[in-house]
Amino acid sequence: MDYEVHSNVKAVIQKLTSLDSVKKALTFLKEDHENSISDQLELVQIPAPTFHEEKRAAYMTETFRKLGLTDVHIDRNGNAVGVRKGRGNGPKILIDGHMDTVYPMDTPLHPRRDEDYIYCPGITDDTRACAAMLTLIRALNHANIETEGDIIFMGSAREEGRGAFGGIKGFFDDNKDIDAAVCMDGCGIGQIIYQSTGFKTMEVTFHGIGGHAYGAFGEVANPLHAAARAVAKIADLQVPSNPKTTYCVSNFHAGNDAGIHAIVPSASIKINYRSNGQKELEQLDAEIARCIKEACQEETKRWGRDEITYTIETYCDVPAGSLDQHDPIVEAAWESITFLGKKPGLVEGGPTNASIPISRGIPAVCIGDEVGMETFCHNAASERFPVKDTWQMPQLAMLIALASAGVLEEIKSIL
């Protein structure tokens, strides 16, 4: 794409990457790669399904202390947090990677390595980012880099699934003084996520009286039929392709085999819908609500004997948002990727931890080439980590963070 970095940001990255201390840190990150892999192998064998990240949080905070971070703690949201203090003259920057994986607690975690890959559930998403934070801290220490602003490192909880970015959401609720964030999710560099894909996930339960499938027929309305009407209506919805907007009824449940001859008293569906535009997300939300209400009304009218009602439990509700394509942190990411010898690109949308600060107007990017990893992530049988050159993700995170926090007596913050 045709993208031009402004001269002031270009000058900052050029000066930053010319500093002897930064060169030393970049070299260290490459040379420390096998140590980082060792951290990753230890971490991946600690089960951490969403809502059960405690042992990984303990590992991260123990290591943060060993590396000299201050104010190390596990916060009320389950996040592992540590601070690398600056001089207090610059912005506060968060570097984040989520600790949770999508796999159940009893998933076998036995890493296997060949020449090109390490294979293990969770090895990339997002264990790599947690290990990358540790090597990044070692690099900053090794090169004695002092920053103007504080850099906060965080292994965040509850990113996946029903966790709904709960860890980082709670962190930003509690810390109103964070000026920017660099989220790592994946293992590579190249793609820059600078938007928040808004999304909502909810369970809708349809309620009725229930009864015998034969004896109560015609006497009561059927909640399962109301649910089916709702699904059919939702399936016919038209949504825009730009901004990308999607929906999916992902679960439909009612009854059991023991009651196969029964009209169920309740039936439930689960729905996930997303959009890169907040207006479009709100319009889709209203349309889905209409489908549900009409389905209940139609099923009630069909039999005319009792009323089908419904309740909704919302699991996730994340607003859409976007930085300007030329926000300084986006440009710094672009220029840094170019410096590291890769071709940068901007990703349209992206449900990542960066969604939370972005949706609140706080500069943030997600790096790690998460987009495109679907072929081998979230699949216990095939998740793998490409070993070659993956020291570049912590290199990129460091450059963006230093450009944002400022380097003592050398670089003023781009923010």
* Separation in Å, CA 64 to CA 155, 201, 316: 10, 34, 31
Cβ-contact 320, 277 below 8 angstroms? yes
Cβ-contact 118, 388 below 8 angstroms? no
Cβ-contact 1, 345 below 8 angstroms? yes
What percent of the chain is helix, strand and coil (3-state, nearest 5)? 35, 25, 40
- Quote the pLDDT of residue 348: 84
Burial of 64 (0-12, 13-18, 19+ CB in 10 A): buried
- Quote the pLDDT of residue 371: 41
- Quote the pLDDT of residue 380: 59
For 71, the enclosing helix (H) or strand (E) is strand 70-74
Question: What is residue 144's three-state secondary structure?
Answer: coil
- Quote the pLDDT of residue 375: 46
- Quote the pLDDT of residue 350: 83
- Quote the pLDDT of residue 340: 96
- Quote the pLDDT of residue 74: 98
CA 143 to CA 153: how far, in whole Å? 18
- Quote the pLDDT of residue 143: 98
- Quote the pLDDT of residue 345: 94
**List of the chain residues with pLDDT < 70:** 1, 370-381
- Quote the pLDDT of residue 259: 87
* Separation in Å, CA 346 to CA 91, 182, 322, 349: 24, 15, 12, 9
- Quote the pLDDT of residue 376: 55
Residues 6 or more apart in contact with residue 144 via CB below 8 angstroms: 21
Cβ-contact 306, 239 below 8 angstroms? no
For 384, phi and psi rounded to 5 degrees? -145, 160
